[in-house]
């Protein structure tokens, strides 16, 4: 099976369309979503509807949880909370019900998927460094775990208790090693690269590729401003931060 693995779409319809076009070009057969479909962007309903047409295997993100009432707003920055309140007021009932039904962790063959981390998935802790990855490796019972949340692509590899980075954008899962793979963000990258990010995973060959895609950032930005959402959410898209 050849998967497109998406995370942190955040209501950015323009980025999602570009990613799905690229995924189809790469002959993807199935889809996985690592959460945060909504929040920040101006098209939460459209993104949900477009994604659900693909029948993806999906886990819950923290913004999804807040929009559907499974997470308190006190755990978010004021900027994020404003966007969540805006989204709560506009999301359709069927979209809210879908988000409320999502699990925190899922297993698909030899991989596990989660939004934030495996050690405490409902605490929404970030994994930025090899040291922060250790507790999730302790809980990983498959060869690889795909995750998101930080909006920054990064790959950690564990072998014989040592954790290091995989620097290459295309790599193979090696027997005897385990991996934590952050696929980056479709709708709001934060690694100073404004292009949308996602991963293509070929389960048969064990190949993983982190893919970057251009999309009409200016259109997504204008939609956020026109919706009355905070300008910071619009302008950060231009710089990928």
Which of 61, 50, 6 has the alpha carbon at shortest distance from 196? 6
What is the helix (H) or strand (E) element at residue 135, kind and residue range?
helix 130-139
Q: Please, which pLDDT band fits residue 28 given cuts at 50, 70 and 90?
A: very high
Which of 227, 226, 225 has the alpha carbon at shortest distance from 235? 225
Asked if 158 and 167 touch (Cβ cutoff 8 Å), the reply is no
Residue-number span of the structural domain to which 168 is assigned:
2-239
Residues 94-151 pLDDT 10s: 999 999 999 999 999 999 999 999 999 999 999 999 999 999 999 999 999 999 999 9
Strands 30-33 and 2-6: parallel
pLDDT attached to residue 144: 98
Residues 147-193 pLDDT 10s: 999 999 999 999 998 999 999 999 999 999 999 999 999 999 999 99
What is the helix (H) or strand (E) element at residue 139, kind and residue range?
helix 130-139
pLDDT attached to residue 220: 98
Residues 33-61 pLDDT 10s: 999 999 999 999 999 999 999 999 999 99
DSSP codes of every residue in 198-228: EEEEETTTTEEEEEEE---HHHHHHHHHHTT
First to last CA, the chain: 33
CATH code for the domain in which residue 176 is found: 3.60.21.10
Alpha-carbon separation of residue 149 from 6, 136, 160, 175, 183 (angstroms): 11, 14, 27, 27, 9
| Alpha carbon 5 to chain centroid, angstroms | 8
Q: How many domains does the chain have?
A: 1
DSSP structure class, residue 104: S
Which of 80, 88, 11 has the alpha carbon at shortest distance from 47? 11
């Amino acid at each position: 099976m050849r998967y497109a693995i998406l995370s942190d779409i955040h209501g950015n319809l323009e980025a999602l369309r570009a990613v799905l076009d690229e995924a189809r070009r790469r002959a993807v057969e199935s889809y996985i979503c690592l959460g945060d479909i909504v929040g920040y962007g101006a098209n939460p309903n459209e993104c949900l509807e477009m994604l659900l047409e693909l029948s993806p295997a999906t886990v819950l993100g923290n913004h999804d949880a807040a929009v559907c009432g499974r997470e308190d707003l006190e755990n978010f920055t004021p900027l994020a909370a404003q966007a969540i309140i805006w989204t709560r007021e506009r999301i359709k009932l069927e979209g809210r019900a879908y988000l409320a039904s999502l699990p925190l962790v899922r297993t698909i063959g030899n991989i596990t998927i989660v939004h934030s981390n495996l050690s405490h998935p409902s605490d929404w802790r970030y994994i930025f460094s090899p040291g922060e990855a250790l507790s999730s490796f302790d809980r990983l019972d498959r060869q690889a775990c795909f995750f998101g949340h930080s909006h920054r692509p990064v790959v950690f590899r564990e072998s014989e208790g040592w954790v290091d980075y995989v620097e290459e954008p295309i790599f193979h899962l090696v027997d005897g090693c385990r991996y934590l793979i952050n696929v980056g963000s479709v709708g709001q990258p934060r690694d100073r690269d404004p292009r949308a990010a996602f991963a293509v995973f070929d389960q048969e060959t064990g190949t993983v590729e982190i893919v970057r895609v251009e999309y009409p950032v200016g259109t997504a930005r204008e939609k956020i401003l026109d919706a009355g959402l905070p300008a910071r959410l619009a302008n950060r898209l231009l710089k990928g931060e």
